[in-house]
Amino acid sequence: MPFLPNEKELKLPCAISRGRNSLLPILLSTIILIFAAPLLGQVSVEGKVRVEGGQVPGVGVNVRIETEDGEVVAQSPVSSGGGFSFPSIKKGIYTVVVTCEGYETARQQIDLTLGPNMVISDVTIMPSREAKRLVIKESRTDVQAPKLARKEYQKAVASFSSKDIDAAQAHLEKAVKEFPCYARAQTDLATVLEQKRDMTGAEAALRKAMAPECDPDYIDSYIILGQMLNSQKRFADSERVLEEGVRRSPGSWQFYYQLGVANFGLSQITKAESQYQKVLELNPSPPAEFHVKLCDVYLREKAYGKAYSEMEQYLKAEPDGRFAPKIKNIMQEMRTAGILNQPAAAKKEQ
């Protein structure tokens, strides 16, 4: 009788995606944790895409790595936080190309021949000439903030651009001291504090940003707080925050993505699946890791055929991604065990 992987083994490649979303929204530049050491002679390229002014970009942002001859060696949509990650790029000189409808194509050259095993390449995209009028409008507290607070915030943005996180934090703290209800500054300060593992301070800043007397319609604060609470496995708290965010912005797919994480953490598997299906309705091309999370749901439901399909989708999006080796192994085990009815899976075994 062929070996049948037990449920724990089947869930392994997907379950490791739970908890912290590896690409949490951090303004302009964040040193992201290295999840897997790159192969010999290869480099991990990670970074963030931001809209001019520091906002997290919306749906439809694509990042690709091109050789000097214009050959595409890797590409991927950005995560819900605007992040991108290419774990295994052969050393060489490349161009990071960022495209998004309504924005100018951004290009940034990177030299992977020298230096560390991980390169941070943060890219700011500018609205196209035709779309200038569609740039994200100011929030309530952006307008209310006094001149000194706004000046300190702009200094923080400049510090982020030069990757001086400590200086950025200092300027943001001055901005919110001058105007505690400055939602954008409080939210960006929270991302810095979270990066420095000050979760209490980060949560306080986010809750101040969304307070009724401040700016309860500043959507970024809900998304970031929901992600942070999920990373701490405070799933019930996260669910409450995210549901309020959905009420205020029902068309934002990122809320349903994080609600799926929270529901799964609460063992509300049917609800988690429903949230992830809503993500697909709003964003047909979600981040690659989305397929790993949906795979986890299907494995819990013992819907192995659907889980297998999600693994295929992940490998299509990130054939050399950090989950790829374990996913390939589990797919082989599933085929060997004969527990699939998918014709595609059967063909792969031949």
Confidence of residue 40 (pLDDT cuts 50, 70, 90): low
Q: Can you tell me the mean pLDDT for 306-311?
A: 93
Question: How many other CB atoms sit within 10 Å of the CB of residue 195?
Answer: 16
Confidence of residue 34 (pLDDT cuts 50, 70, 90): very low
* 90: Cα separation from own chain's centroid: 24
Confidence of residue 70 (pLDDT cuts 50, 70, 90): confident
DSSP class of 137: P
This prediction's pTM:
0.62
Amino acid at 131: A
* 236: Cα separation from own chain's centroid: 21
pLDDT tens figures, 205-262: 999 999 999 999 999 999 999 999 999 999 999 999 999 999 999 988 999 999 999 9
* pLDDT at 24 exceeding the cut of 80: no
Cα(121)–Cα(278) distance, integer angstroms: 31
Owner of token pair 């795979």? 295
Domains and CATH numbers, the chain: 9-21+185-349 (1.25.40.10), 42-134 (2.60.40.1120)
pLDDT tens figures, 319-329: 888 888 889 99
DSSP class of 61: -
